[in-house]
Chain A
């Protein structure tokens, strides 16, 4: 008969304990007071602009540096299933510090005007709505604050913690034209 020695049992129990110890340690970063906020719509924006489906032109001249306008546009893309089939697009008017941060960190081709960061507010993890935190270093965060979600993104849309760490938020097709104080965003 095959023998399982006491040593085998001890080794198995010890290694299982080591494997299960992640359950005891629960690392959390960037504390937000967002308990039980809706996860299908952004929050924290300074302006909410609703447009019809399809191409749209939006005027955002009144947006001050540090402020965020959110454009809500109906879509058929299943990517937006968790936000009620609405594509939420943020236009973040960057501060001087954020423009400098963007110059060093923006991905090529994602930013047309360094003062304005345009990004889809759909989490790269499971498609929940992204909210605006008001934190200049981490302006975007997933509205789902569950233990296995909680993504936080920096001013270039790069995931710095949570489930979307090391992933970028997606960027819509757009053009932006700033003529003095007139700023117009066109979504294609």
Chain B
């Protein structure tokens, strides 16, 4: 039992989108790029919303997918927590970012949120949260990478290969 090809594709599309989001978001925040960066950030963010919804649908349809029974209990618990954390973090990211972007004069959004709400104190708090949350995401990603590297190079098991398109043993 393993991930479907759809799930694997969606995983790597998410990875690329997160890199695009981090690159454009940080470049804009730190004044290293002009407003083209924030326009890209908004468009990639909306693609990310679609991808996240598709991932969750794919996950619920293939719920029995990966049962890494070979792994220790603490490993499964940790991996599971980090995965849930990543999902929640990304959902929080797109929600806060979407509302924050709605406050712009010319948002590049399909359905911008209400301008009065987006420019309220709450809307501003959403932007601050969006900004602070990159540390949470970077922490979770570090754990995610550390886990995959440990399984690949130290345990030498199939954990990372389960998420690639390479020929699999099963």
Using a CB–CB cutoff of 8 Å, the interface residues on chain A facing chain B are 1-2, 4, 9, 16, 19-20, 22-23, 25-28, 78-79, 81-82, 124-127, 147-148, 161-163, 165-167
Measured between alpha carbons, how far is A19 from B124 in the docked complex, in Å? 26
Contact at A81–B119, with CB atoms within 8 Å?
A: yes
Proximity string of chain B (24-41) to chain A, C-beta cutoff 8 Å, 1 when within and 0 when not: 001111111011000000
Contact at B31–A162, with CB atoms within 8 Å?
A: yes
Contact at A127–B119, with CB atoms within 8 Å?
A: yes
Q: Which residues of A contact B127 (CB under 8 A)?
A: 126
Contact at B35–A166, with CB atoms within 8 Å?
A: yes
Contact at B32–A25, with CB atoms within 8 Å?
A: yes
Q: Which residue of B lies closest to A147 (CB)?
A: B29
Q: Which residues of A contact B105 (CB under 8 A)?
A: 79, 124-125, 127, 167
Measured between alpha carbons, how far is A16 from B30 in the docked complex, in Å? 17
Query: Which of A1, A9, A16, A165 lies in contact with B34, CB distance below 8 A?
Result: A165
Contact at B104–A125, with CB atoms within 8 Å?
A: yes
Binds A, one of B48-56, B60-68, B77-85, B157-165: B157-165
Q: Which residues of A contact B19 (CB under 8 A)?
A: 16, 19
Q: Among B19, B34, B115, find the residue whose CB has the most chain A CB atoms closer than 10 A.
A: B115
Query: Which of A2, A19, A124 lies in contact with B22, CB distance below 8 A?
Result: A19
Assuming the contacts A2-B166, A4-B160, A125-B104, asked whether A22 and B116 have C-beta atoms less than 8 A apart, the reply is no
Additional pairs, 5, CB under 8 Å, beyond known A2-B166, A28-B31, A78-B119: A19-B22, A78-B114, A78-B116, A161-B31, A165-B34
Measured between alpha carbons, how far is A167 from B38 in the docked complex, in Å? 14
Q: Which residue of B lies closest to A27 (CB)?
A: B31
Query: Which of A9, A27, A126, A167 lies in contact with B32, CB distance below 8 A?
Result: A27
Q: Among B19, B119, B167, find the residue whose CB has the most chain A CB atoms closer than 10 A.
A: B119
Q: Which residue of B lies closest to A144 (CB)?
A: B124
Contact at B149–A9, with CB atoms within 8 Å?
A: yes
Q: Which residue of B lies closest to A82 (CB)?
A: B119
